Structure 1
C-alpha cells in the first residue's frame, strides 16, 4: 500500500492503478451489455423471435455465477494484472464471434461464453485492496465499482448511435465489434501499466487453488451450505432453457445438465475438503483464523443489493411504461435514473464506510434498502410520475451505496483470499438477479418489490451477527515470517 495522498485528479501511484482498474472494469461492462441497446436492429437483421432474444439474455448471465468464483481464485493465485489482461483478451474472441454471427446458434454460443467477462469485477477488488490503506479502501473500491458499473449505461447511450453512424444492416455488427477492439486495447494497456502491489509489498497467495480455505470444521460445513444456492441458480437457468421454459434445450439435455451440476457440486465439495483437511486433524492457531460467517453475511447483502439492481434494471422501463402509460423511450429514460445513480452512490457507500464504520453503515443502508423497496411496492397510476422517479432514485441510492459498503468490507477479512471472497460475494449478486427475475415472472411488480424488501430485512438481521473488521490480519510470507496487515 502507498501513503501518497488520495487525489482523484492524480494519475500517478495508487491513483493510476485505481483509474486504470475502473476503466478496464468499465470496458467489461460495455462488452457484457453491448447487446441490449441494439435489440430491435439485431432481432430484425437476424430474424430472431422474442423467445430467442430472451434466451440470449439468459445465456449472457449464465456463466457469470461460476466465472466469478473461478476468476476470484485465479486472481488470488496469479495476480490481478495477468488475470484481468488475459480475461479482456480472451473475451474479445466471443465478442467478435457474436458481432459476425450468421445464425442464432452462433449468437447463443458467443453470448454464453461472454458471460465470463462479467467476472472482471472481482479482479479489480483484489487489485485496489493491494494499493490502498484501510481508511481509504471503501472510497477506492466504491469508485472502482461505481464508475466501472456505468459501462452498461455507456453502452446504452453510445452503441445505437455508432450503429447508425456505420449504417446499413451491418451497422450493429461494427458497433459490437468496436467493443471487442476496446477489450484488446485495454488488455495491453493494463498489462503494461500496472503491478499487483506497490514496490516492496508482498502479494499473499492462497496455499491451494482447489478451494477456499476456512479455519474451523463448522466453517467448512457452512461453506458447503453457502455454495448450494449458486448451483441451484444454475439449475434454475437450466430450467428456463428447458421445454418447460423457452424450449431451447431438449428434456434429455436438461436432465444431463442437472446431473452434471450435482456431480460438479460433489467434486467442488471434495476439492474444498482436500484444501481444508488439516482442520479436521488439528485446530488452526487463533491468530490465523477468520470467521466465514463474515463472508456469508456479505453474500446475503450482495444478493439483496446487486441482485436486485440487475433485476430491477431489467423490468423498470416496462414498469414505468405500463403504470403511467408512457412511451418506451420516455419510460427508458426515466428508468435510467436508477442506473445513473451508480456514479455517485456506490462511491458514496464506500466513503461513508471509511468515515463512520463498516457495520454501522451497512445496517443503515440495508434498512434504507428494505424501506425503499417497500415504498416502490406501493407505486401505482395514482402517483405523480415525478414522485415515482424520486422514490426510485432514493431506493437506488441505498441499493448502490450498499454495494459499495459491502465491498468496503470484503478485502478486510483475509488478504490472501480476497479474490475468492470477492468472487463468491459477486456470484451471489448474480444468484440474486436470477432468483428475483424468476419470481417476477410469476408475480406482479408490487409483490416483486415486496419480496426484495423482505430479503433486505433478512439481510439486516444477518448483519447483526457480523463482526466489525478490526485489529490486524495475520499472513505468512514465503520465507515463513509472519506479517500483520492492519484493517482498522
Structure 2
C-alpha cells in the first residue's frame, strides 16, 4: 500500500500541473479565468452545470402571471408548488452527498441533470394545478447539483482557497436564478409579438430552452470533467478507502457541526430561494409594475450572486488566514445578521425604488452569508465531506420550505410585505446557534483550540 501511495505521488508531481498545488495536489491558488486542467476546468464545469439547474428551477416564477391565468391557478396552488419544488430538493440533496462520496461528483451531477432535463421539458405539457405542482416538485431535484458542485470544489482546492472556489462556483451558478428572470419573459414576448403565437402556446414553447441547456451541460461534465486532481474518483476510492458507505454516512450524521451549519444555511440560502420564488410577483402585485419590469427587478436579486457569494468566500478565506476558524465563524454570524436586518427593512419600505435599493443590499449580504457558510463546511469532516455538504445543502432548501410554508403559502393571514419582515427576524434568530460550533484543533467564536497538537489527517478523520 505504501508503495502504491508513493508511486501515485511520483506519477503526479506538482510539476505536472499548470497551477500551484499542495501535497494532495489540490490547488493553492484560484484563477477564475483560466481553463487549465484539471482544477480550473472542473471549476467551470461545476458552476455552468449548476447554473443550468438554477435556470431550469426558476424558469417558472417570471412567467407565473401568464401560467396562472392559463391554468386558473389559485394563490394556494402557487404557494404549494413553490413548497413542492423545495421539498424535492431536500431529499435529493440529502442523497447527493453520499452519492458523491461513493461515485464521485462528476457522475453524480451529470446523472441527476440528465434525469431531470426531461421533467423541465414536460413543463410545456402541464394542464392542471396538480400537474403544475408535480412538475415543480420534480424539477426541484436538480438543485441537488449544488452539493456535487461544492463537493467537487472541496476535492480540487486546498484549504487556503476552498472558500474562494466554493463561493465563486456557487455564486456564478446562482446567477442562473437571476438570468432566467430576464430571459424567460423575453423568450415568451418574442414568440407572442414577433411570431404572433398565442400566449398559451408561447409560454409552453419557452421551456424547451432550459431543458436543452441543462442536458447539454450534463454531457459536458461527463465528457470533459475529472473528479480529483489525480484522476478517476472511483479508482482512488477502490485503492485507498476501506470504509463502507454506512460508516461514512453515520460518521457524518453524528457530527453536530453539520446540523448547525444546515440550520444556518437554511436561513441564508433558504431565504434566498424563497425570495427568488416570490420577489417578481411581489413587485408585480404591490407596486403594479409590468411583467418585464418585475422580472428585471427580480433578476437583479439573483444576478448579485456573481459578486456577493464569491465575496463571502473571499471574506471567509481572508478572515481564516488572519484569525483562524474564529474569523470564519464571526464573519458568518455578522454578515447573516445584517442580512436579516436588511430583510426586515425590505418589508417596511413603501416605494418601488426604495424597495429595489434595500433589496440590492439584502441580496449582497444574504448571498455572501451562503458563501461564508461553505467556507466552513470543508473543515468539518474530510472522511464524510459529501454527507456534511449534503446536510448543509439540504438545510438550505428545508429553510426555504419552512419560510414558504409559514409565510408565503397563500393561507397565511399576513401580507407579503409583513411576511418578508418576519422572515428577516427568523434569519437573525436562527443564526445564533453558529456560536455553538467548536473545533478542538481550531477553536470557536469564544474559545481557543484545546488540542493544537493533533495531526491534521487524523483530525479530519475523527470529527
Q: TM-score, normalised by structure 1?
A: 0.74
Q: Per the alignment, do residues 95 and 472 of structure 1 end up closer, same or farther by CA in structure 2, a change over 3 Å counting?
A: farther
Residue 318 of structure 1: CA displacement?
4.6
Q: Give the root-mean-square deviation of aligned CA atoms.
A: 3.1
Q: Per the alignment, do residues 145 and 472 of structure 1 end up closer, same or farther by CA in structure 2, a change over 3 Å counting?
A: farther
Match of 1:208 in 2: 245
**Structure 2 matches for 1:31-46, cutoff 5 A?**
31-46=56-71
Match of 1:135 in 2: 160
**Structure 2 matches for 1:28-427, cutoff 5 A?**
28-46=53-71, 48=73, 51-101=76-126, 105-166=130-191, 167=195, 168-169=197-198, 170-199=201-230, 202=236, 207-209=244-246, 212-214=249-251, 220=254, 292-320=255-283, 326-327=289-290, 329-357=292-320, 358-379=328-349, 381=350, 385-427=352-394
Q: Per the alignment, do residues 193 and 462 of structure 1 end up closer, same or farther by CA in structure 2, a change over 3 Å counting?
A: same
Question: What do residues 313-346 of structure 1 show as CA deviations (whole Å, max 9, x unaligned)?
Answer: 3333454456556555545433443322211100
**Structure 2 matches for 1:436-451, cutoff 5 A?**
436-440=403-407, 441-445=412-416, 447-451=418-422
For the residue of structure 2 that corresponds to 1:362, the secondary structure is helix
Q: Per the alignment, do residues 458 and 207 of structure 1 end up closer, same or farther by CA in structure 2, a change over 3 Å counting?
A: farther
Question: What do residues 358-416 of structure 1 show as CA deviations (whole Å, max 9, x unaligned)?
Answer: 1132122123123323433542x3xx644433222222211100000001111221123
Q: Distance in 1 between matches of 2:214 and 2:47?
A: 14
Question: What do residues 217-247 of structure 1 show as CA deviations (whole Å, max 9, x unaligned)?
Answer: xx84xxxxxxxxxxxxxxxxxxxxxxxxxxx
Do the aligned residues in 1 keep the contact of 2:50 with 2:143 (CA within 8 Å)? no
Do the aligned residues in 2 keep the contact of 1:300 with 1:459 (CA within 8 Å)? yes
Q: Distance in 2 between matches of 1:60 and 1:129?
A: 27
Q: Distance in 2 between matches of 1:151 and 1:473?
A: 42
Do the aligned residues in 2 keep the contact of 1:415 with 1:473 (CA within 8 Å)? no
Number of aligned positions between the proteins: 403
For the residue of structure 2 that corresponds to 1:213, the secondary structure is helix
Residue 301 of structure 1: CA displacement?
1.2
Which sections of structure 1, spanning at least 5 residues, go unmatched? 221-291, 476-481
Do the aligned residues in 2 keep the contact of 1:76 with 1:419 (CA within 8 Å)? yes
Match of 1:243 in 2: none
Which sections of structure 2, spanning at least 5 residues, go unmatched? 1-24, 321-327, 443-451
Match of 2:36 in 1: 12
Match of 1:466 in 2: 437
Residue 67 of structure 1: CA displacement?
1.3
Do the aligned residues in 2 keep the contact of 1:366 with 1:459 (CA within 8 Å)? no
Please point out which of 26, 32, 40 is paired with 1:2.
Answer: 26
Do the aligned residues in 2 keep the contact of 1:95 with 1:114 (CA within 8 Å)? yes
Please point out which of 424, 427, 444 is paired with 1:453.
Answer: 424
Q: Distance in 1 between matches of 2:164 and 2:286?
A: 37
Match of 2:6 in 1: none
Residue 171 of structure 1: CA displacement?
3.1
Question: What do residues 86-144 of structure 1 show as CA deviations (whole Å, max 9, x unaligned)?
Answer: 11111122223333346555544433322211211111111110111111111110111
Q: Distance in 2 between matches of 1:454 and 1:109?
A: 31
Match of 1:236 in 2: none
Q: Distance in 2 between matches of 1:363 and 1:50?
A: 35
Q: Per the alignment, do residues 71 and 453 of structure 1 end up closer, same or farther by CA in structure 2, a change over 3 Å counting?
A: same
